[in-house]
Structure 1
């Protein structure tokens, strides 16, 4: 699923709840701060960059990297947000949860797209990881105030 299918309005509102901005990039223009290049989302400071052809999972993943960081560290980010395994796992978990906040997306569709893109998990799929192997990521998000005890986003 690409941003063109859902538009920029709902994702921009979601990111704003975390103090982040979504910057639309013109078609054919390189995306600033993109780690993977091509159509993949980019991050610089508190801004997530994306085009119409950017996959929704990419937008949520890069935004998730910024969300899991303490606000005082966000302005230092350019392209690569972390080398921490705990933060990477938390980012993957959070992007799945946040997919439910976007009309027409949802966690099942997002996990299918994650699998198609090539995310790798020990249990072989995003669904298996999320359901059976991600308790540490969920607990990390709860401890950092990003999810409530019910596993729902805790917006600041």
Structure 2
């Protein structure tokens, strides 16, 4: 499973900054603020995502995508638990897969494999099957908010 220490951290910072999200690197061995699942999973408080070197990349992207999909007025108040609805959770999962393509050496295929290894569960049995065959509602939700375009790339 890819962790933050394995990837290009400046690329993560640029990606998140492009969505008006702050990134805070937590020192190894220190508690991760706002971690819903517990360490080493990423955390979020307000408009900031927190992660350590041992934080899985899928977790960092997932928490960041929660912030991207939520209305700005909710971002500033969020602490630890970002889920508002099943639709928003599905959109978050979809967007994290799409954004993985923007990070060198990751891409959607690797991210979906890591999501499966971590234990994400989807009706069709795998992240890949869900993304390809059962995520029309998540894609439509994101498109209706201009978060991904018709080409399934993140909107600028």
Coarse TM-score class (shorter-chain normalised): over 0.9
Structure-1-length-normalised TM-score: 0.98
Give SS of 2:117's match: helix
Quote the residue 1:85 is aligned against: 86
In structure 1, what is the equivalent of residue 104 of structure 2? 103
Q: Displacement of 1:83 after TM fit?
A: 3.2
Deviates more, 1:76-85 or 1:119-128: 76-85
Q: Runs of at least 4 residues of structure 1 off by over 6 A?
A: none
The residue aligned with 2:54 is 53
Q: C-alpha deviations, 1:42-96, integer Å up to 9, x for none? A: 0000000000000000000000000001112100100011230000000000000
Question: CA shift at 1:7, angstroms?
Answer: 3.4
TM-score with structure 2 setting the length? 0.98
Task: Give matches, 1:15-26, under 5 Å.
Answer: 15-26=16-27
Give the structure 2 partner of residue 148 of structure 1. 149
Distance between the aligned counterparts of 1:69 and 1:3, measured in 2? Answer: 24
The CA distance in 1 between the partners of 2:25 and 2:39, in whole Å, is: 15
Aligned residues: CA RMSD: 0.6
SS of residue matched to 1:108 = helix
Partner of 1:54, secondary structure, is coil
Aligned length: 155
**3-state SS of 2:13 partner:** helix
Q: Which runs of 5+ in 2 are unaligned?
A: none
Cα distance in 2 between the residues matched to 1:21 and 1:9: 12
In structure 1, list runs of 5 or more residues that go unmatched.
none
1:26 partner SS: coil
